[in-house]
Amino acid sequence: MKVQPSVLVSILVLCFPMAPLHCLILVVALAVCSVRASIGPVTDLTLTSASVDPLGSGVQRDAIVFSQSSNVIGPLIVGNKGDNFKINVINNLNNDNMRKPTSIHWHGILQTGGQNWADGAAFVTQCPIAGGGHSFLYDFTEPEQAGTFWYHSHLSTQYCDGARGPFVIYDPQDAHASLYDVDDESTVITLADWSQTYAMDFTGVPPTTSTLINGLGRVSGGTASPLSVITVEAGKRYRLRFINIACDPWYRVSIDGHASLTIIEADGVSTTPVTAGYFDIYAAQRYSVILNANQAVGNYWIRASPTGTSTFTNGIDSAILRYVGAPVAEPTTTPNILANLLTEQSLTPLTNTGAPGPHYRGDPSVKVFNLNFTFDGTRYHVNGVDWVPPSMPVLLQILSGTQTAQTLLPAGSFLEINQGDIVELNFQTEIVSLVGGPHPFHLHGHTFYVIRSAGSLLDNWTSPPKRDVVSTGIITDLVTIRFVADNKGPWFLHCHIDWHLELGLALVFAESVDQWDGTIIPPSEWDQLCPIYDALPSDDQ
C-alpha cells in the first residue's frame, strides 16, 4: 500500500479547520474528503442503526451503519496477501424498520480449503446472526488472492439499507506496482444507490434511488449538500479502486479532463493494462483504474451515471477530483466527449492460461448447463424454478445427514458438479433481459472465464477475461462462462440486483457433495447460529 504524505497533509488542512470556511456554505457546497479509516485484518465489525441523511435532502431515515464508520458505507477492511482475516461481526440491530438478523458475505473471497462455512450466504452456508448483541467470528485465509473486494449482508435485501462496505487485499509484490504512486484508503471509491424506502417495504418494484459516491450524494432539485472529494497531487499516478456496491444500477464512469484511464484489475484479477476513456461497472463489479494527475491544478467532476442516463444537474451522481492547491470549490468542468469505452473482452488476465477445457463448444468432457431465465410477472425462474431460501442452510443439510444433491432443499434449485469438472454456463436471458436487465450474475467460491461477453458474437478461448461478476446483456446476447470445479461446497449463483435475488433469480451449485462432511468443518459457534435464530420470534427474523 503506497501512501502519499503530501495528500494526507492537504486533507487535514481542508477537512478540519471548518470554522474559517463556514461563510463559504452560502456560495458552494462543502465537500468531504474521501479518506476513510481502515480496519483489519483482525477486527470487530459492529452493526447498529442510526438516523441518516446522506443526500442532504432534509429527510432523515433509519439505516444500518457500522460503529467503525462515519457514514452509511461501512469501514474499509484491509489486509495483505496471505493474511489471516478474523472479523468478529457483532449484531446490535434492533430496529423494526429493517431486518434484525444478518450475515456477511465477503464478496470475491473464494473461501478455498474447506472455508465454505465462512462465505456468509444466509441459508446457503449459514443461519443468520441474531440481532440484539449476538456475534459470529469469520475466520478465513486466502493465500493466493489480492485485489479489490467488498462485503455486504447476504440476508434478503438487507444491504440496501446500508450493510455494505469496501474490502482491499494489498499485494506487496504487485506486478503493476511500477505503474502507480498512490494506492491507499484515499483511492477507494464506492458507488452505491440510496433510497428513502426501507428494503423490507419492497413490493416487487425496485424503489427510486439516488447515487452515493463514498457515502455522499445529492438529489435532483435538492440542496447543494456535501460531496466526496478525491485529492490528488499533480504529477502523481493514482490507483483508483472503483467498487459498485449498489443494489441495482450499473454506472457509466468518467472523469472530466482525464480521458486516458488505465485498467489493471477486474474483480480481484490483475489484467494486462488496457486504456479506456470511460467504463461501465455493473452491480458488485470492481475495477482498478490508474489515473495520471497530469492536468492543470483545479477541480474536476468524477461522474457516475446510473444506467448511463444522468444529467448531472446540481452535482447529482458526482464526486470531485481535487488537485492539491486547487480552491475549495465545485468544478466548472464539462463532460468528456465519451470515446473508447472499456470492453470486457479487452481484459486479458495478467496470468493468462486461456479457457479451461477444449477450445470449442460441444465437447462431451465439458459439463454444460443452459440456464433459461423467465419471469411470470411476480417471480423470476431459472430453468422453471425460483429460488426460495430453505429453513435449514444447504451446508447444514449435508452435514446433518442428507446424502445427495437430489435430496437437498429447495428441490430443483441445485446443479450438481464434481471435483475437477469443467463447467460451462450459457445464460439464456432473452425474456428477462427486458425485465430489469441487464442482469449481473455472481458466482460464489470461484472466478470464471468469460468466453462470450454481452455485446459480442464471438467466443474467446485464448485470452478470456477472468472475474466473478458478469453482465448477461440484452435480448440478443448469449453470454457464456467456464470455470473449474475445484472448491468443495454449496456455492450460490445469483443475479446481483438484490431485488431480483429476492424474487428468485438464483440457484446453488452443489460441488462435490460427498466430500463436504470431513472437508468443511465449521467452528462450534457456527453450530449455534441456527438454534439461536430459530428460537427468535417471527418479527425478529
- The Cα 373–Cα 364 span in angstroms is 24
pLDDT by 10s per residue, the chain, length 541: 554 333 333 333 333 332 333 333 333 344 555 556 899 999 999 999 999 999 998 889 999 999 988 789 999 999 999 999 999 999 999 999 999 999 999 999 999 999 999 999 999 999 999 999 999 999 999 999 999 999 999 999 999 999 999 999 999 999 999 999 999 999 999 999 999 999 999 988 888 899 999 999 999 888 889 999 999 999 999 999 999 999 999 999 999 999 999 999 999 999 999 999 999 999 999 999 999 999 999 999 999 999 999 999 999 999 999 999 999 999 999 999 999 999 999 999 999 999 999 999 999 999 999 999 999 999 999 999 999 999 999 999 999 987 788 899 999 999 999 999 999 999 998 888 889 999 999 999 999 999 999 999 999 999 999 999 999 999 999 999 999 999 999 999 999 999 999 999 999 999 999 999 989 999 999 999 999 999 999 999 9
- The Cα 383–Cα 386 span in angstroms is 8
Count of C-beta atoms within a 10 Å radius of residue 244: 26
- The Cα 212–Cα 153 span in angstroms is 18
Q: What does the pLDDT read at residue 25?
A: 30
Contacts of 166 (CB under 8 A, 6+ apart): 73, 74, 76, 77, 148, 149, 150, 151, 188, 190, 241, 243, 245
Q: What does the pLDDT read at residue 45?
A: 97
Helix residue ranges, H only, 1-54: 5-15
Q: What does the pLDDT read at residue 34?
A: 55
Pairing relationship of beta strands 440-443 and 380-382 according to DSSP bridges: unpaired
What is the arrangement of strands in the sheet containing 84-91, beginning at the earlier edge strand? 61-66, 42-52, 84-91, 134-141
- The Cα 29–Cα 328 span in angstroms is 9
Check: CB of residue 158 under 8 Å from CB of residue 499: no
- The Cα 14–Cα 33 span in angstroms is 8
Radius of gyration of the chain (CA): 22
Check: CB of residue 80 under 8 Å from CB of residue 70: no
Q: What does the pLDDT read at residue 27?
A: 31
Q: Which three cell numbers stand for residue 179?
A: 505503474
- The Cα 75–Cα 403 span in angstroms is 41
Q: What does the pLDDT read at residue 205?
A: 84
Helix residue ranges, H only, 226-360: none
User: Strand, coil or helix: what is 201?
Assistant: helix
- The Cα 77–Cα 104 span in angstroms is 13
- The Cα 533–Cα 353 span in angstroms is 44
Q: What is the pTM (predicted TM-score) of this model?
A: 0.94
Check: CB of residue 195 under 8 Å from CB of residue 25: no
